[in-house]
Structure 1
Amino acid sequence: MDSLPTYQGIAIDADTALALLEWQVEMGADEAMLDAPVDRFELAPRSRAADTPVMPPLQMQAPAVASPQPSVQDDLQARVAEAESLAARAQSLEALAAAQAGFDGIELKKGARNFCFADGNPKARVLILGEAPGDEEDRQGRPFVGQAGQLLDRMFEAIGLSRQEVDAEKALYITNVLAWRPPGNRDPSNDEISLSMPFVRRHVELVSPDLVVLMGNVPCQAAIGRRGILRLRGQWTQAFERPALPMTHPAYLLRTPVAKREAWADLLSLSARMESLSV
């Protein structure tokens, strides 16, 4: 007969051994242990290669580099260069008008009704450079045809000059810095002036007037780099390589009738300058 198992030197039967096992499970001893302790520090280390599959080296892909986007300033310079190229190739006023009308680099074009190029006799000795089309100019596609334009006509007729005149000695030629109306008749921005000036310079070259009238702040800023028309008016300067006279805009004269006396003095100065060049 087999001997009974012992626990701490005491012989126990099968029922007692089973009861002890159940008690151990209830106490949490649910894993079998070796009969003797094992010093795992003395075990030979297992090869990591045996436990871990060798992974192929990762192919590091360089992050995609986005193409550099042109800055706002670079874009403006590119559009100005395009305007200069178009203007330089124009050999007549008709070609210049077609080139400027087809230029898409200025946003004003998208909101305006009509392209406003010029009016009057292109053989005139006097070229008037205004600011930009207003509402009525935008409707008709001609500069200075609104209330301010009607006053301008009366002013220059007083010294014998007219846009309808066939004789170059008595004629006027009128254009603007901007050929498209700014929304709400706001002042043109510096960028809009920069984009328009290549066409304006070529315009003056093709007309080749003896004298230029800078009618208001914007033409003075564009042509001579200065503002402050009330200080500049009446003082002859140089613009587009020819004599130029700053004058207050007729719209200002409509708001400030007392300033008409100074405008009359400027008109007399213009008339005298024309006579001196004719001698």
Structure 2
Amino acid sequence: MLKWSQLYDECINCNKCTLVKNRTNMVFGEGNISAPIMFIGEAPGADEDRTGRPFVGKAGQLLTKALLALDFKRDEHYYICNVCKCRPENNRTPKEEEAMTCLHYLRNQVALVKPKIMICLGATALKYIMGEQFRITRDRGKWIERKGYYIMATFHPAALFRDESKKKLLWQDLKSIREKYDELIKNNII
């Protein structure tokens, strides 16, 4: 397992796929590197590529606001990152080879953070964390215990801009995360 600085250096110098050609910044991750909760999205968008920070665009602001309403602070309670560390052009879904290339970095981030709770934000994160047999429409909101992690998938906050009916479901899922977090604290797991 790499140390944080080694992992970051390896990631920022990566040129293993074509995404590096169009990126402005590599977007590694942000938050508490010893957090009990880890949120994993798909890939950086335009705002993230410009700033080098994850989830700072409209979708990220929406998620941050909702998490703050549940008393979750980025620098204290969670770490947030994406499967892919570079922005796919036009915010398209990452290609299989792009995601597979970045999976090494994500696995090392998970190993270093050691979260108890992992949240897959959207179908892409769910696919690369849990496997192709999982579906966001069928499996969102369900807790799965695997290898010492409590894992749940929910909608990516960007999906709410395309379909407002998902807002209530995302909010239910976020409240479920709060309940799971409180349960794990009560049981001295966190």
State the TM-score, normalized to the length of structure 1.
0.64
Structure 1 residue 144: Cα displacement: 0.4
The one-letter code of the counterpart of 1:124 is A
Contact 2:116 2:148 in 1 (8 A): no
Question: How do residues 8-87 of structure 1 correspond to structure 2 at under 5 angstroms?
Answer: none
Task: Find the partner of 1:151 among 33, 41, 62.
Answer: 62
The 1:220–1:240 alpha-carbon spacing in structure 2 relative to 1, beyond 3 Å, is farther
Question: How do residues 1-279 of structure 1 correspond to structure 2 at under 5 angstroms?
Answer: 88=1, 90=2, 92-165=3-76, 171-226=77-132, 227-238=134-145, 241-279=148-186
Contact 1:223 1:239 in 2 (8 A): no
Tell me how large the CA RMSD over aligned residues is.
1.4
Cα distance between partner residues in 2 of 1:212 and 1:134: 21
The 1:137–1:123 alpha-carbon spacing in structure 2 relative to 1, beyond 3 Å, is same
Structure 1 residue 258: Cα displacement: 2.1
Cα distance between partner residues in 1 of 2:158 and 2:143: 21
Spell out structure 1 runs of 4+ moving beyond 3 A: 238-241
Deviations for 1:76-126, whole angstroms, at most 9, x for unmatched residues? xxxxxxxxxxxx4x1x22221111112221221111110100111112211
Contact 2:48 2:57 in 1 (8 A): yes
The one-letter code of the counterpart of 1:210 is K
Deviations for 1:43-69, whole angstroms, at most 9, x for unmatched residues? xxxxxxxxxxxxxxxxxxxxxxxxxxx
Contact 2:48 2:56 in 1 (8 A): yes
Cα distance between partner residues in 1 of 2:184 and 2:154: 20
Cα distance between partner residues in 1 of 2:95 and 2:146: 20
Cα distance between partner residues in 2 of 1:240 and 1:152: 27
Contact 1:116 1:142 in 2 (8 A): yes
Cα distance between partner residues in 1 of 2:37 and 2:9: 23
Give the % identical residues: 34
Structure 1 residue 239: Cα displacement: 5.5
- Give the match's secondary structure for 2:165: helix
Question: Which segment drifts farther, 258-267 or 126-135?
Answer: 258-267
The one-letter code of the counterpart of 2:62 is L
Cα distance between partner residues in 1 of 2:148 and 2:96: 22
Contact 1:229 1:246 in 2 (8 A): yes
What 5-or-longer segments of structure 2 have no aligned partner? Answer: none
User: Highest Rg: 1 or 2?
Assistant: 1
- Give the match's secondary structure for 1:144: coil
State the TM-score, normalized to the length of structure 2.
0.92
